[in-house]
Chain A
């Protein structure tokens, strides 16, 4: 007998092969055989493509006809597959089909969330693979399923369980786990899963057509005993989706900060990044908080960690864009107040939240556009205010080099005050991490050449593709060509190198070594990290920055990139080698100031009005940035010179920041009220 059902599926922006495989897995799980199939890919204009699938399926079990309930459930399962992580798929399609798709997704999400929480206490016991292996064992999956069930019942919009019933069921589960589970590792993990349920304020798990699974967490659940003494954030969002996990962390109700995408090159690195993902997000958000001293908003950061090491470069790009969409749409699920969210989300926080995002590493102009359009489509109060650096009705950071304007001001001041170099008259050398195609490094190259001409000599530049080195200085025209074309350093024309120049690519071991050690090896007057992973220089490796005689390879560091050097390494470099370091929270503060001004303008002007006056606005903002950077640089050096011997120049600034942060609370309240007033008036 031939097939029983025709199934038509239209799916946007999915790799066609993946869409077909996902559908085939759902059908196989439901005991359906594909008898006939057609797949075609249609254009969807600027939005991408639509994969059209038509399948003729036949039930393997002829005695059990498909009824409407199964078909409805299968429809939902098919829809979820686009956004489901491969681990969840294996869990619910292969290992434990009885779990069901939603519970499987909750369990996978919780395992991903457990890793950065638990790893700091014991990175070996609580490795990512151990966590998954333990929770998904036959013996423990039942408890994980019960916890997922409790989570679903607590947030069931039709009939959420009361707090007392929740506490009773939670205690009962804890008791069961305590008495039945012998493995202490499993016991700890399951208990923490329950803790996550208790510390969840909101979730989008019941929203139809959601992209990923999102949780608005009480930040206390993220902190281990060791980290309890440090500053806790105001709010944390966690999002789990297909091939990615993301955190958003903010230190005040109204906060501003960027979103970065992290794409580790292999599975080992991914596991490492996963273990410190929250730490990175917290650290970056805190650094941002300090950095936001010139604006009323507190600091925030979002870190999207993507597993893409097994993908082709095209597929990786595809997954990156898809992850940004899924993450930001999930944030919208959790902060939007409309009929859809009100009827599907149980709110245990009890207050409205507003988020402000901006671009950071690997976020593209298309991402920015999509986020704003999506916010508009979903009825977000002020969609233009959600994301800064918009190419049209905004001030794009890369286009105008706003962050680098500040870094350059600090560098200028520091060269004069620390090294007695007048960059307008004297020759000096720089080494940079971050490539000509990147925002901060590319614009640093451009601005340094604009302001100092032939006086500046770039002796080394390293980025994700490799590094170029030349003791005589890399050719300016060639560097500007790469900047203009947005290319990596690997595209540097070797014929433009001096006699002692060289290029090393990361496609071989020796090349990777050269690239990774460039910032330590090369001697230059100043080192300006404008890209690279956080904590690249730490207490275990800072000595590599010193020559054999103990002299530093550069006496001055201006941190264009965030957290490139750890606090301990910073102190050691100053104490042992007298390296003067301009901290990230001072040096690269201008990006966020621009975003703040852009969003203030977006609240007051229509898109068209902004666009009409864009040139004037941009020029005024650039002038303001230079003046704010100069003011702080002068203050820092004045303070530093008045008390020589202080460990690093930003220390005074921190005191200054703390004072301002307290004042900011008042300003934030005023801004919120102004915003509310503006909304009610118009």
Chain B
């Protein structure tokens, strides 16, 4: 809501959408928001992010970059610091949309869709619930199931190692 207010204020004043916002989240985390006109400035924003804060080091734990449909505006949000445990505690139905989708994969419903990962043991309900414990709650709630499961496979590729796994996918409508 703060972002929308900021954007409408800029629009009303007929200014270039160029703004930096800093907010303190109730649990002690910091959120930095950068609003920029057009596209192509993300690298610059990222390279100028702070490495430490007055209170000491806080890790970057979340980043979200969005570009408007008309490509006139981009919003980048960076959250520093770890979420307090009580906020991140999972409820039983958290991630149900992922488990449902995984079940369909295991049942062979997407067999002909090459964009959907193939059936595997990692997508069994118990395995997924155990994996959820390693994920931030918002990552589970926010993720589109197919995307989450594709990333589950990437995680498996690098877990326990010092490696990096990369996957490309042509964007479809």
| Chain B residues in 8 Å Cβ range of A13 | 162
In the assembled complex, A271 has its CB within 8 A of some CB on chain B: no
CA distance A11 to B170 in the complex (A): 21
Which residues of chain A (345-375) have a CB below 8 Å from chain B?
none
The verdict on B26 contacting chain A, using a C-beta distance below 8 Å, is: no
Are B151 and A37 interface neighbours, CB within 8 A?
Answer: no
Q: How far is the CA of A45 from the CA of B155 in the complex (A)?
A: 12
The answer, among B39, B62, B170, for a CB contact under 8 Å with A33, is B39
Tally of contact residues, A, Cβ under 8 A: 60
- Residues on B with beta carbons closer than 8 Å to the beta carbon of A41: 59-62, 136
Contact of B160 among A7, A47, A211, A322 (CB under 8 A): A47
Chain B binder among A75-83, A259-267, A453-461, A635-643:
A75-83
Q: Considering the chains assembled together, what is the distance between the CA atoms of A10 and B167 in angstroms?
A: 9
CA gap between A596 and B63 in the complex, in Å: 50
Are B165 and A9 interface neighbours, CB within 8 A? yes
Q: At the interface, yes or no: A149 with Cβ under 8 Å from chain B?
A: no
Assuming A9-B166, A12-B158, A44-B134, is B57 touching A4 (CB within 8 A)?
Answer: no
Pick from B67, B133, B136, B170: contact of A4, CB under 8 Å: B170
A314 and B57 form a contact (CB under 8 A): yes
> Chain A 306-335, CB within 8 Å of chain B: the 1/0 string?
000001111100000010011001000000
Distance between Cα atoms of A24 and B151 in the complex (Å)? 19
Check B40–A60 contact: CB distance below 8 A: yes
Q: Is A56 on the interface with B (CB-CB < 8 A)?
A: yes
A2:B42 contact, CB within 8 angstroms:
no
Please tell me if the beta carbons of A42 and B135 are within 8 angstroms of each other in the complex. Answer: yes
Known A-B contacts A6-B168, A12-B161, A50-B159; A43 and B134 likewise in contact (beta carbons under 8 Å)? yes
B52 at the interface (CB under 8 A from A): yes
Inter-chain contact A39/B62, CB cutoff 8 Å? yes
Residues on the A chain within 8 Å of B165, using CB: 9-11
Q: Mark B35-49, 1 if CB is under 8 A from A, else 0.
A: 000011011001101
Residue B19 is within 8 A (CB to CB) of chain A in the complex: no
Please state if A56 and B171 are interface contacts (CB–CB under 8 Å). Answer: yes
A372 to chain B, nearest CB (A): 15
With contacts A5-B171, A47-B159 taken as known, whether A10 is within 8 angstroms of B42 at the C-beta atoms is no
Chain B nearest Cβ from A33, distance in angstroms: 5
Query: Would you call B69 and A38 a contact (CB within 8 A)?
Result: no
Contacts A35-B67, A39-B60 given; indicate if A21 touches B47 (C-beta within 8 A): yes
Interface string of A605-622 (1 = CB under 8 A from B): 000000000000000000
Complex CA gap A133/B129 in Å reads: 54
Check B65–A79 contact: CB distance below 8 A.
no
B164 engages A82 (CB within 8 Å): yes
Q: Does B163 contact A36, Cβ atoms closer than 8 Å?
A: no
* B64 is an interface residue with CB less than 8 A from chain A: yes
The answer, yes or no, to whether A71 is at the interface (CB within 8 Å) is yes
A99 within 8 A of B: no
Digit string of B123-166 for contact with A (CB within 8 Å is 1, else 0)? 00000000001111011001000010011001101111111111
Cross-chain contact B139 with A209 (CB below 8 angstroms): no
Partner of B164 from the list A37, A47, A56, A78 (CB cut-off 8 Å) is A78
CA distance A471 to B66 in the complex (A): 65
Task: Report A67 CB to chain B, min CB distance, Å.
Answer: 12
Given contacts A47-B160, A71-B168, A209-B163, whether A37 and B47 have CB atoms under 8 Å apart is no
Interface residues of A in 196-236 (CB under 8 A from B): 209, 211
- Bound together, the chains give a CA A40 to CA B154 distance in angstroms of 13
Interface residue? A34 (CB, 8 A): yes
Distance in angstroms between the alpha carbons of A298 and B162 in the assembled complex: 32
User: A75 touching B168 by the CB < 8 A rule?
Assistant: yes
Q: Could you tell me the distance between the alpha carbons of A40 and B143 in the complex, rounded to whole angstroms?
A: 11
Cα A44 to Cα B49 in complex, Å, equals 25
Give Cα distance in the complex from A45 to B60, angstroms: 19
A44 to B145, CA, bound (A): 21
Q: Say yes or no: B139 contacts A42, CB within 8 Å.
A: yes
A54, B164: Cβ atoms closer than 8 Å: no
- In the complex, the answer to whether B164 meets A15 with C-beta atoms within 8 Å is no
Inter-chain contact A312/B52, CB cutoff 8 Å = yes
Contacts of B155 in A (CB 8 A): 10, 42, 50, 52
Out of A15, A79, A314, which one reaches B166, CB within 8 Å?
A: A79
* B162 contact set on A, CB distance < 8 A: 12-13, 82, 211, 322, 325-326, 329
* A37 B136 Cβ-Cβ under 8 A: no
CB-based contact B49/A17 at 8 Å: yes
Asked whether any CB of chain B lies closer than 8 Å to the CB of A16, the reply is yes
The answer to whether B169 and A8 have CB atoms under 8 Å apart is yes
Contacts of A58 in B (CB 8 A): 39
- Checking A3, A33, A60, A82 against B171 with a beta-carbon cut-off of 8 angstroms, the contacting residue is A3
- Which of chain A's residues have a CB closer than 8 A to the CB of B158? 10-12, 50
For the complex, give the distance between the alpha carbons of A184 and B64 in Å: 51
Of residues 57 through 82 on chain B, the ones whose CB sits less than 8 Å from some CB of chain A are 57, 59-67, 69, 71, 74, 76
Cβ-defined contact, B64 with A37, below 8 A: yes
B51 at the interface (CB under 8 A from A): yes
CA distance A211 to B66 in the complex (A): 33
User: A5 contacts B169, CB within 8 Å?
Assistant: yes
List, in ascending order, chain B residues with CB within 8 A of A60's CB.
40
A303 within 8 A of B: no
In the bound complex, residues from chain B placing their C-beta under 8 Å from that of A33 are: 39-40, 42
Q: Are B139 and A75 in contact (CB under 8 A)?
A: no
| CB neighbours of A10 from chain B (8 A) | 151, 154-155, 157-158, 164-165
Please give me the residue from chain A that is nearest to B144 by CB atom: A54
A25 within 8 A of B: yes
Compute how far the CA of A329 lies from the CA of B163 in the bound complex, rounded to whole angstroms: 12
In whole angstroms, what is the CA distance A82 to B163 when docked? 9
Q: Are B164 and A9 in contact (CB under 8 A)?
A: yes
Contact between A2 and B171 (Cβ–Cβ < 8 Å)?
Answer: yes
Counting CB contacts under 8 A, is A20 at the interface?
yes
The answer to whether B171 touches A4, judged by C-beta atoms less than 8 angstroms apart, is yes
- Answer whether residue A272 sits at the interface, using C-beta atoms and an 8 A cutoff: no
Q: For the complex, give the distance between the alpha carbons of A24 and B78 in Å.
A: 15
A28 within 8 A of B: yes
The answer to whether A15 and B168 have CB atoms under 8 Å apart is: no
Please indicate the chain A residues that have their CB under 8 angstroms from the CB of B166 in the complex: 7-9, 75, 78-79
Nearest-CB distance from A171 to chain B (Å)?
40
Question: With A and B bound together, what is the CA distance between A9 and B168 in angstroms?
Answer: 9
Given contacts A5-B171, A17-B60, A75-B166, contact A12 B159 (CB under 8 A): yes
Contacts of A82 on B, CB cut-off 8 Å?
162, 164
> Shortest CB–CB separation between residue A367 and chain B, in angstroms?
13
Q: Can you name the residue of chain B whose Cβ is closest to the Cβ of A34?
A: B42
Residue B139 contacts which of A11, A40, A79 (CB distance < 8 angstroms)? A40
| Separation of A416 and B154 alpha carbons in the complex (Å) | 65
Nearest A-chain residue to B82, judged by Cβ: A41
Contact of B135 among A4, A28, A40, A79 (CB under 8 A): A40
Contact with B along A59-97 (1 / 0, CB 8 A): 010000000000100110011011000000000000000
Q: Which of A8, A34, A325 contacts B151 (CB 8 A)?
A: A8
Q: List 26 A-B contacts (CB under 8 A).
A: A8-B166, A8-B169, A9-B165, A10-B151, A10-B155, A10-B157, A11-B158, A11-B164, A16-B59, A16-B60, A20-B60, A35-B74, A40-B136, A41-B62, A43-B133, A43-B135, A44-B134, A52-B151, A78-B166, A79-B164, A311-B51, A312-B52, A313-B57, A314-B57, A315-B51, A322-B162
Q: A10-B155, A38-B65, A42-B155 are in contact. List 5 more A-B contacts (CB 8 A).
A: A9-B154, A28-B43, A34-B65, A78-B166, A312-B52
Query: Which 6 pairs, one residue from A and one from B, show the smallest C-beta to C-beta distance?
Result: A39-B63, A37-B65, A10-B154, A40-B139, A17-B60, A312-B57
